[in-house]
Amino acid sequence: MVLTTTLLSAMTLTASAPADATPLADTIRLPVIPSRLDDGQSCTRKSDEKAPSLPWAQKSLGLTRTWPVASGDGVTVAVVDTGVSQGAPPLGRRVTAVAGGGTDCVGHGTFVAGLIAAGPTKGVRFAGVAQGARLIGVRGTDERGVATDATVAAGIRAASDAGADIIEVSPALVRRSGPLREAVSNAVARDALIVAAAVPDAPQRSAQTAPPPQDYWPAAEPGVLSVVDIDAKGARPQNALVPRSADLAAPGDGVVGIGPEGTGHFIGSGASLAAAYVSGIAALVRSAHPGLSAAATAERLTATAYPADVPRVDPYAAVTSVRGGSAPPRAAGDSGPVRLPSDEGGALATRRATVLAAGGVGVALLAAWSAAIIPRGRARRWRAPGR
């Protein structure tokens, strides 16, 4: 189902379903969840609107097939973001707060937590991926949503210290640092799977040229599962920033979720939301296979994904497939993100990029994507120990 979105000055978004889509209703109007607050902007309050129909992202992931098999029970997911409101009704009493992460002025961290694990609400078809999982709210930004390498590193360390099985990291930073690298290494050593946005959530902008592809952190760190956002057609959104590489793709454009108060809905876009979906699916995998390590969980997610230059996560296959024998061949060593070298002659140019060319900045994104991005999972050696 395709959502057509228009940002309105009143910070609401109209999403209309085309004729070939499952109807949402004639029109829905949901407030946009911010990723950070501008100077003078007040805290995000509850939404009085609810999405009347099944959100496209939830439908495309086929979660109703997966829920009878796995619920996320017994798995703890930390959300390193703007905090997670412990008073958000769809999260019930499943949120533990560390490092000041129990309140959420911005609302983005609560939105992400809802995509991961919001429980069902009577009369509402939206629900989180892993409804049995427990959550740890961790603030990886300041109170208004501004992240630095220091705040994100502290958030990752707090999450691993609290015993998280999966750590979702929403911020994507242009700067790598020693503390950030050490925080990731510490979490990996504790068998926590870090799932991070491959790029920052793109601001609304009218620039005709896209910035060049580049690495963002901590997504580009070895041992981190890096995720990009795709829209209802399976393409990168028009304004999306481009990383040099990524492991998985998941829905992240015009997705429906909860806010920090009440039971109403918001709408949002960005790679952080795609990372939320993958984190919830990782929780399903680890709940269905309790002995699975973080590395084996990552290998399972990438190996069972829909084939594409950036494989699209497949929840049902990740949970139910019988993984036996050796993992698919990987390149020797773990040298970090893989670049598309010029001597490949374009043979590995992404098929997804052809879809992007239709947008105003599509040509620039097409060139950047074709020249740079292939999934790191093919060379990051995601495999279980001893395999």
pLDDT for position 383: 45
DSSP state of 95: E
pLDDT for position 205: 54
Tens of pLDDT along the chain (387 residues) come to 223 232 222 223 333 333 333 334 335 689 999 999 999 999 999 999 999 899 999 999 999 999 999 999 999 999 999 999 999 999 999 999 998 999 999 999 999 999 999 998 888 899 999 999 999 999 999 999 999 999 999 999 999 999 999 999 999 999 999 999 999 999 999 999 999 999 999 765 555 667 899 999 999 999 999 999 999 999 999 888 999 999 999 999 999 999 999 999 999 999 999 999 999 999 999 999 999 999 999 999 999 999 988 999 999 999 999 864 333 323 333 333 333 222 232 333 233 332 233 344 443 444 444 444 444 544 554 544 334
Which SS3 state, helix, strand or coil, does residue 51 take?
Answer: coil
| Helix and strand totals (H; E) in the chain | 10, 14
Distance from chain centroid for Cα 43: 23
Q: Which two tokens stand for residue 156?
A: 């990752």
**All domains in the chain, ordered by first residue:** 42-331+374-378 (3.40.50.200)
Q: How far apart are CA 117 and CA 90, in angstroms?
A: 9
Q: What is the 3-state secondary structure (H, E, C) of 243-285?
A: ECEECEEEECCCEEEECCCCCCEEEECCHHHHHHHHHHHHHHH
DSSP state of 217: B
